Amino acid sequence: MRYISTRGLPGAAGAGFSDILLEGLAADGGLYLPAEYPQVDAGILASWRHVLATQGYAALAHRVLSLFVDDIPSDDLLGICQRAYTPEKFGSSSIVPVERVGNGPLWIGHLSNGPTAAFKDMAMQLLGELFGYELGRRDGYLTILGATSGDTGSSAEYAMRGRDRLAVYMLTPAGRMTPFQQAQMFGLQDENIHNIALDGVFDDCQDVVKAVNHDAEFKANYHIGAVNSINWARLVAQVVYYVAIWLRVTTSNDQRISFAVPTGNFGDICAGHVAREMGLPIDTLILATNENNVLHEFFTTGVYRVRASAEVAATSSPSMDISKASNFERFVFDLLGRDGERTADLFGRQLSENGYFDLSGTPEFASIPERYGFVSGSSTHADRLQTIRGLYFDNGVLVDPHTADGVHIAHEWIGKAQAPIVVLETALPVKFAETIKEATELDLEIPPRFAEVMDAPRRVADLPNDAGKVKEYIAQTNKLG
């Protein structure tokens, strides 16, 4: 399996999985994708169904990842999966439980039972093990530079904390996360964890990460890598839970189901796109946004328009307060027939000069619903409150506000998309206690496992929105190498 950049030319030589694992963003500014997606059929799905039922989630992850990883010995890859996905980390042997809501067509895929109570743990725990393995094999080290709008940061830090070959620098938008999310990150005392509160919004944090990566000399000197979903390894880990959920909901190997996915950065739903391209029987991919509806605007109009920082609303589903969806480039690359030159023009020149690009009226845009199965919707704070309240009092199911965005949009598509519809949970409700109380009047207690960080002194550096200042901070505090 070889990997190519979304901005590379056709026929360009590909890289191996272990190399792109450590590189993160491609040198030309693009994102890595397999040169071609591996294909699965009914026979493979039947074998995976047996593996999940008899050997569990880690064994299934090994089978799925083996299609994408050919430069790590199979036994070693199995060990990595077994260390990443344990009942101790995820609360039960199922790792990803699936729950039906009442007797209707709606299901919830519970992805948030990991160490930080967010779906990001599903990929980060694997990524931590992959990094540890590969750096040990190469006798190397890595400086992780990432951006978070809420949950990526804590999931990454919990997966990487205490690892002596890794240092983590996580940029957060100052004042834009919930108190619980801030405490999870800023309360960690590990020496290899560095939190930076940037004076800006998430998109600014993401831009700084990209700017640092574009400084080839600095990136090489400090061995800069990525844990955001721009890193292909993280995204392919998410493909596994689409497979697991599909297996748990279906009864036959050709049954089609739909997924409703809350998303801001297009990472979670991009994994669903990859799974669908591989041949997993997915009918519709229902994209749910909040008031920051850049992606919904594209899927309904064909115009992808990036918002200025001042236009990014602070909402009650803050992890989706994003206007530049990094992983969207992967989908557009596929949409355009994997034309790297055209993709580079859209995401490079056109976004830089105009702040938007327009595919409306093109045959590619017209093909999206039927060829790729994407539909979309957006919701408001009032919609989230109503959804949380209704699910809890009608069905005894409590969800966080991001998952509520997904449920709200899923309800709009019941009867249109093929049933059942599985909403992917993003976090446990306790992380957003204020919104839960507003919706239900419930006072949620902090789980005992988080008491230590909630009470711990905060370790965070306040920096301006300036890539140069961030590089200075890394140079001053990095103890690797």
Digit-coded pLDDT (tens) for 175-193: 888 788 888 889 888 999 9
pLDDT of residue 181: 82
> Residues 332-347: pLDDT tens digits?
999 999 999 999 999 9
Mean pLDDT of 453-468: 89
d(CA 372, CA 251): 24
Q: Where are the alpha helices (DSSP H) in 94-151?
A: 121-138
All residues at 6 or more sequence positions from 382 whose CB lies less than 8 Å from its CB, including other chains? none
At 198, give phi and psi (nearest 5°): -95, 140
At 33, give phi and psi (nearest 5°): -140, 155
At 210, is the pLDDT very low, low, confident or very high (cuts 50, 70, 90)?
A: confident
pLDDT of residue 238: 97
> Residues 228-240: pLDDT tens digits?
778 899 999 999 9
d(CA 183, CA 228): 20
pLDDT of residue 11: 56
102 Rama sector, left if φ>0, alpha if ψ -120 to 50, beta otherwise: left
Mean pLDDT of 112-133: 93
Peptide bond into 420 cis (omega under 30): yes
All residues at 6 or more sequence positions from 352 whose CB lies less than 8 Å from its CB, including other chains? none
pLDDT of residue 377: 97
Q: Is the pLDDT of residue 312 over 80?
A: yes
> Residues 254-303: pLDDT tens digits?
999 999 999 999 999 999 999 999 999 999 999 999 999 999 999 999 99
d(CA 224, CA 435): 37
At 428, give phi and psi (nearest 5°): -75, 145
Structure tokens at 132: 């540890």
At 86, is the pLDDT very low, low, confident or very high (cuts 50, 70, 90)?
A: very high
Of 22-36, 120-134, 449-463, which one has max mean pLDDT?
120-134
β-strands 106-109, 421-424: how paired?
Answer: parallel
Q: Of residues 120, 324, 431, 471, which has the active-site annotation?
A: 120
Q: Are residues 38 and 275 in contact, defined by beta-carbon separation less than 8 angstroms?
A: no
pLDDT of residue 417: 82
d(CA 109, CA 398): 13
DSSP-derived 3-state class of residue 162: coil
At 13, is the pLDDT very low, low, confident or very high (cuts 50, 70, 90)?
A: low
Lowest mean pLDDT among 46-60, 376-390, 449-463: 449-463
Mean confidence (pLDDT) of the chain: 93
Structure tokens at 379: 């919701």
pLDDT of residue 27: 83
Specify the amino acid at residue 68. F
Q: What is the pTM of this model?
A: 0.92
d(CA 372, CA 472): 43
d(CA 480, CA 140): 10
422 Rama sector, left if φ>0, alpha if ψ -120 to 50, beta otherwise: beta
Of 25-29, 117-121, 245-249, which one has max mean pLDDT?
245-249
Q: Is the pLDDT of residue 93 over 90?
A: yes
> Residues 397-442: pLDDT tens digits?
999 999 999 999 999 999 888 789 999 999 999 889 999 999 999 9
Structure tokens at 2: 């070889």
User: Residue 457 carries which DSSP code?
Assistant: P
Question: 145: which strand partners?
Answer: 169
d(CA 146, CA 347): 20
145 Rama sector, left if φ>0, alpha if ψ -120 to 50, beta otherwise: beta
How many CB atoms within 10 Å of residue 275?
26
Q: Is the pLDDT of residue 110 over 90?
A: yes
Q: At 468, which helix (H) or strand (E)?
A: helix 467-477
Q: Are residues 308 and 68 in contact, defined by beta-carbon separation less than 8 angstroms?
A: no
Structure tokens at 151: 């949950």
Q: Which among 204, 224, 63 has a CA at the least distance from the CA of 145?
A: 224
Domains and CATH numbers, the chain: 98-116+232-440 (3.40.50.1100)
Cα separation values, 46 from 82, 209, 344, 418, Å: 22, 42, 39, 21
Q: Are residues 143 and 480 in contact, defined by beta-carbon separation less than 8 angstroms?
A: yes
Q: Is 120 a catalytic residue?
A: yes
Structure tokens at 446: 């902090």
List b or e across 398-421, with b for residues whose CB sees 16 or more CB atoms inside 10 angstroms.
Answer: bbbbbbbbbbbbbbebeeebbbbb
